[in-house]
């Protein structure tokens, strides 16, 4: 008797209009996944949808305009996406910004925006996703964190790295809460990637191009690990040295 084909996986991605979010959408569409793409810019989302459908006419793509700092808008977008796709199997908490400056200078508003978007926005997305996953007893919640979550960083990276540390801690706490529920939680820690968002970072050590980084992220997420450092070379090898390095040396290396 032939084995039936697997059901099409339904994936929601926030921050899908640019950077890693857009690249993940391209990669998963090519794998035959159904997608709910969320971002603030409708024009960019529409261009991406048209591109995906041109490349993969069988793809199912729904679009949802949302600012992840608005919890009611996030709730509505996740509910609408679940209705459009007939449910959700994976939610990728990816939306983020990287503005700001060292505290006490001229970057206060940009620092607050970074904190609201990256951390509070992640809380909103996780709350909404789990209201879908918990009744189903299944789902995969993915947080796109950063290697900068492993250590505090100075200057323009200070608030950004702090928000990513919070995202990683949120993921770990949820993983503990959700043991035995059928819901998986993954925290992905990419190294530097040459995207528009990262273009103002003062240092880009061992940066990857978006294509290489996305291949590593998608491959890791498909395995559903607790955490992943990507691309594995060099970042998986550097995770523990980064944590253990004396602050003075770390500051000279990473800023």
Catalytically active residues, by annotation: 160
DSSP letter string, 206-252? TPBPHHHHHHHHHHHHHH--SEEEESHHHHHHHHHHHHHS-HHHHHH
- With contact defined as beta carbons under 8 Å apart, do 127 and 177 qualify? no
C-alpha 59/C-alpha 110 separation (Å) is: 37
DSSP letter string, 2-51? PPPPPPPPEEEEESTTSHHHHHHHHHHHHTT-EEEEEES-HHHHHHHHHH
The CA-based angle 121-226-170, given to 5 degrees, is 30
Cis-peptide into 234, omega within 30 deg: yes
Residue 168 Cα distances to 34, 114, 226, 227, angstroms: 27, 16, 10, 9
C-alpha 115/C-alpha 121 separation (Å) is: 9
Tracing tokens 């808008």 back to the chain, one arrives at 73
C-alpha 163/C-alpha 23 separation (Å) is: 22
Tracing tokens 């390095």 back to the chain, one arrives at 245
Tokens encoding 210? 């978006």
């Amino acid at each position: 008797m032939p084995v039936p084909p697997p059901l099409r996986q339904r994936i929601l991605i926030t921050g899908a209009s640019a950077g890693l979010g857009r690249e993940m959408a391209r990669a998963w569409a090519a794998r035959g996944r159904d997608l709910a793409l969320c971002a603030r810019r409708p024009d960019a989302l529409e261009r991406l949808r048209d591109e995906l459908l041109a490349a993969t006419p069988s793809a199912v793509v729904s679009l949802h305009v949302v600012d992840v700092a608005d919890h009611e808008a996030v709730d509505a977008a996740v509910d609408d996406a679940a209705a459009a796709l007939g449910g959700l199997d994976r939610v990728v908490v990816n939306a983020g910004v990287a503005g700001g400056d060292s505290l006490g200078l001229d970057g206060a508003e940009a620092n607050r925006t970074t904190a609201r978007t990256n951390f509070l926005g992640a809380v909103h997305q996780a709350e909404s996703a789990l209201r879908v996953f918990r009744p189903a007893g299944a789902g995969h919640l993915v947080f796109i964190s950063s290697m900068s979550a492993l250590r505090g960083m100075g200057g323009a990276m200070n608030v950004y790295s702090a928000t990513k540390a919070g995202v990683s801690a949120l993921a770990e706490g949820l993983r503990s809460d959700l043991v035995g529920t059928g819901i998986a939680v993954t925290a992905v820690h990419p190294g530097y990637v040459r995207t528009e968002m990262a273009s103002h970072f003062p240092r880009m050590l061992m940066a990857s191009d978006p294509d290489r980084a996305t291949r590593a992220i998608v491959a890791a997420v498909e395995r559903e690990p607790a955490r992943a450092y990507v691309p594995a070379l060099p970042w998986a090898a550097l995770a523990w040295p980064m944590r253990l390095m004396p602050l003075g040396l770390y500051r000279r290396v990473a800023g």
